[in-house]
Amino acid sequence: MNVVIVGCGRVGSVVAEAFDSAGHKVIVIDRSTAAFDRLPGEFKGDAVRGDGTDEDVLRKAGAEGADVFLALTEGDNRNVMSAQLAIEALHANRVVAKINDPLRAAAYAELGLATICRTDLMSNAILGYIGLPTTGSRGVVAPIGVHAGGEHHHERDGLRSGVRSAPVGLGREPISAPSPEPDSGREA
């Protein structure tokens, strides 16, 4: 698989290493070259310095048509924009954006973006460890709606509608192992 990872922080570098050692073609993009020090010496993929929200940078790096595109920078909004560029302009297949604001993460899942929310993941981990009820949110959310684009170009309300066709991106088969469970209600 062709894997593009924007943001070579702790998470980005670990995921990059994992994909790389599993034999996939990996491109890592970060604004700072120092970030690439986190990659192991035997990393065989490409490390490209540049702004992951810039379409030209992404294209030049070879992100077009990526099988997996992960936006994992420290900036929620940069991830949102990167991921949407990947879907709309670069036609990446499975796209995931890290969004640490739970409300924003849920909102973008509704707009058809697969999101990972560290806030939800961690608070649930802590609550679960202590033995308190978790928030019910799984932290990894497959897109609920259909992202703009596809056959509905230039349609103003394209992002809003709930069900239309197979969701772009992660929708077909969620990367996360647990089968979908209802978001509402709390788990004991």
Residue 98 in the binding site for another protein (CB under 8 A):
no
Binding status of residue 61 toward another protein by CB under 8 A: no
* Contact flag: residue 50 with another protein (CB under 8 A): no
Cβ(118)–Cβ(100) under 8 Å?
Answer: yes
Instruction: Indicate the residue among 20 and 76 with the shorter CB distance to another protein.
Output: 76
Strands (E), the chain: 2-6, 25-30, 46-49, 68-71, 94-98, 114-116, 140-141
Query: According to CB under 8 A, which one of 50, 62, 75, 136 is a site residue for another protein?
Result: 75
Residue 159 binds another protein (CB under 8 A): yes
Give me the residues paired with residue 69 across strands.
4, 95
Task: Count the site residues for another protein by CB under 8 A.
Answer: 30
Identify which of residues 5 and 39 has a Cβ nearer to another protein in the complex: 5
Separation between Cα atoms, residue 145 and residue 12, nearest integer Å = 26
d(CA 165, CA 54): 29
Rounded CA-CA distance 139/109 in Å is 11
Binding-residue pattern over the window 112 to 151 for another protein, x denoting contact by CB under 8 A: ------------------------------------xx--
Given 81, 91, 134, 176, the residue binding another protein (CB under 8 A): 81
What letter represents residue 10's amino acid?
A: R
DSSP 152: B
Binding site for another protein (CB under 8 A): 53-56, 75-78, 80-81, 84-85, 88-89, 101, 103-104, 107-108, 110-111, 148-149, 153-154, 156-160
